[in-house]
Structure 1
């Protein structure tokens, strides 16, 4: 296998868990660089080169980094213009200059951008078409923003054709990408997130508690659909179905706090602050059911994690979730924005036999093992990189 020289860029050294897991394995066989606008990282990944483009927080550190790149590259003719930019406080221009020098110094085989929002830093690279650039399609910036922001949609329409390839976290998000740009020659590979499943032991014993312990995990944002799950709770309460519902990540959100009070749910709905992953897993292991009321998702990690540890899932059929769950097989699906359907699914779950729940739990575990292992993620991304290079 050819050794690749690969740049990963999302603007920060503090990359997403997906990238951390990916590069930890890729670095065993390839030369990996992570570029960012910071200079410190508490837990760097071994064998990965972290290269600063200049601090966003410290003018002094920005000056040291910028001058360092001048002397490292031997481009002394840029010294005076650099000092002028430092005097004028032109931080973004200096960071772009540092990035351009870094790219020439590293001379990568591939640049992998993690978000559409970082494309502006690489416009010159895309125009020259000398280094292939791959873009990951995931999250708000791919699923939502282009379709609610006309200027952003037009911007992506301009630059997507210049990408050498795309990585999509789900088939659903790939279809959204095709709404922006598509061609028969477009390289777009779906590579599902790989998780360290060995760190998520499956619970052999499942207890459906009374009252039902319902749980959701995720930041308080309209796209998470928590207002619909709270209206669902009102229906459950009216039907005298005993339950407790905890939203981890919901604490402090004024809209959710208002809804809990307005719907009379103070005695059964609890908004918790964000918690460390180990604590989240502990709470999930004690729950009866994960609720995923989102309006749009790629393939949410929390659903994969719940299925891995044996927590049953009821989710909306948004985004890539149907690629993970077939209704009544690995979990249960309901339409988005439908509190009544969500309440009915929970009520039906409360009446299910333990044998049926166990069947679903085991099917969910098998699905996750087949689709979301670390090996399939790494092989999938390597396959994408080599496919793009083969087309050069």
Structure 2
């Protein structure tokens, strides 16, 4: 079976969700091709086809690239004509049709059994490709796809819902959100949660600490991540003279806002904005920390919370979105109703003050939870089933 996976760029080897999926499919005899806009030099897991470049400021280069696309598609000209016909029937403008033809040309010339868009937003303007080349169409749901993007672009998935053959959701929460914005319940689906490479050993903090409590969050600096609420909660800890150090790993558009909030709350000596780190560097910080906080307004699922549980951290999350399917409240971590910094602060203090034996129990539960339910090896098998099951 020939599977085409569409992403914005080739994944790094630390992005286990995609790399393990590719390896698992190849192990079962599937031919996998990635279709991307940007290819990283070190990626060699499978064949990669790169979309034609868009030259907005150089007409000569754009015309040259357009000619290359035309000649490559000459043997598949019937597909190009059919694509234009479907685009016209849908009511797209001539300019948008030509733009879509150009951007999808690397897909339109491919011979595939499945086209799988790794994010719903990537499928926009490519909805007719699968039908044109005679493939089935799949799409994966992530938090941004359904929690954020449709708020700004109402009806953005109207055509996608009518073309997709099967959907992959990382949580029941996202699947239900998709239903609420128009996905027909007749469309086949499979829930395949994120998974991680379970470490062979864990660093455990089993004794009473005398130094500052180390807390960490891994997240894009985005309003959806609830970092402002987290900072307000931690300022309450400072007011009670509780020693802690809070590290935020990640970059994003809210950097300046968060920097100012840290200053305004008077917790500059307690909070570190680390910026982007490699996966290995991030895991090293997790293993050296005591507590993990993910107080997001909503999450599709959140890999970072899995990584934290898998390394035995004391995890506190909001009850936003798919987080309710990630940790087990009171057993592998604690969930706090979102947008309540005072309640978050109280929970953090209560967890800090738990007896050592109770902390050990929670850490062990979290590790076992990840080992039993979120091993990346099991995830690869689920994707084999995803493509193999009949979807008509």
The alpha carbon displacement at 1:381 in A equals 1.7
Q: Per-residue displacement from partner, 1:322-355 (whole Å, max 9, x unpaired)?
A: 2121211001110111111111111111211111
Q: Distance in 1 between matches of 2:149 and 2:212?
A: 39
Residue 86 (structure 1) aligns with: none
1:348 to 347, 350, 358: 350
Q: Distance in 2 between the 1:156 and 1:371 partners?
A: 31
C-alpha displacement at 1:220, in angstroms? Answer: 1.1
Is 2:195–2:303's contact at 8 Å kept on the other side of the alignment?
Answer: no
* Alpha-carbon distance between aligned partners in 1 of 2:330 and 2:75, rounded to the nearest angstrom: 64
- Partner of residue 8 from structure 1, selected from 5, 13, 20: 5
Deviation at 1:75, TM superposition (A): 4.1
- C-alpha displacement at 1:361, in angstroms? 0.9
What is residue 45 of structure 1 aligned with on the other side?
A: 44
Of 99, 108, 113, the residue aligned with 2:104 is 99
Match of 1:311 among 303, 307, 313: 313
Asked if the contact 1:66–1:94 (Cα under 8 Å) also holds between the matched residues in 2, the reply is no
User: Using a 3 Å threshold, how does the CA distance of structure 1 residues 21 and 384 change in structure 2: closer, same or farther?
Assistant: same
Classify 1:211/1:114 alpha carbon distance in 2 versus 1 (closer, same or farther; 3 Å).
Answer: same
Matched-pair contact (CA < 8 Å) for 2:2–2:30 = yes
**Structure 1 residues 91, 23: closer, same or farther in 2, change over 3 A?**
farther
Residue 136 of structure 1, aligned match among 135, 140, 154: 140
| Distance in 2, Cα, partners of 1:162 & 1:379 | 26
Cα–Cα, structure 1 residues 77 and 41, in superposed 2: closer, same or farther, change >3 Å?
same
Contact residue 24 and residue 381 of structure 2 kept, 8 A? no
> Does the 8 Å contact 1:53/1:65 carry over to 2?
no
Residue equivalent to 1:202: 202
1:25 aligns with 2:24: yes
Checking the alignment, whether the CA contact within 8 Å between 2:111 and 2:133 is kept in structure 1 is no
Distance 1:376 1:57, change over 3 A: farther
Q: Flag the 1:53–1:9 CA change in 2: closer, same or farther, 3 A.
A: same
After alignment, is 54-63 or 311-320 more displaced?
54-63
Inter-CA distance 204–271: structure 2 relative to 1 (3 Å threshold): closer
| Residue equivalent to 1:81 | none
> 3-state DSSP class of the match of 2:126?
helix
Moved more, 185-194 or 246-255: 246-255
**Aligned pairs, how many?**
370
Q: Which residue does 2:221 correspond to in 1?
A: 220
> 1:55-74 residue pairs with structure 2 within 5 A?
55-56=53-54, 66-74=66-74
Deviation string, structure 1 residues 26-67 (Cα, Å, up to 9, x no partner): 1232111111224x4212233x11112212469688667654
- Counterpart Cα distance in 2 of 1:224 and 1:212: 22
CA RMSD after TM alignment: 2.9
Query: Within the alignment, does 1:328 sit opposite 2:335 as a pair?
Result: no
Question: Hey, what's the Cα distance between the residues in 2 that align with 1:274 and 1:206?
Answer: 29
* Corresponding residue number in structure 2 for 1:156: 157
Q: Give, in whole Å, the separation in 1 of the partners of 2:208 and 2:322.
A: 27
Which runs of 5 or more structure 2 residues have no equivalent in the other structure? 79-94
Displacement of 1:161: 2.9
Structure 2 CA distance for partners of 1:14 and 1:366, relative to 1, 3 Å: closer
8 Å Cα contact 1:54-1:95 kept in structure 2 = no
Q: Closer, same or farther in 2 for the Cα pair 1:232/1:128, shift >3 Å?
A: same
Which residue number in structure 2 is paired with residue 391 of structure 1? 391
TM-score relative to the length of structure 1: 0.85
Distance 1:76 1:364, change over 3 A: closer
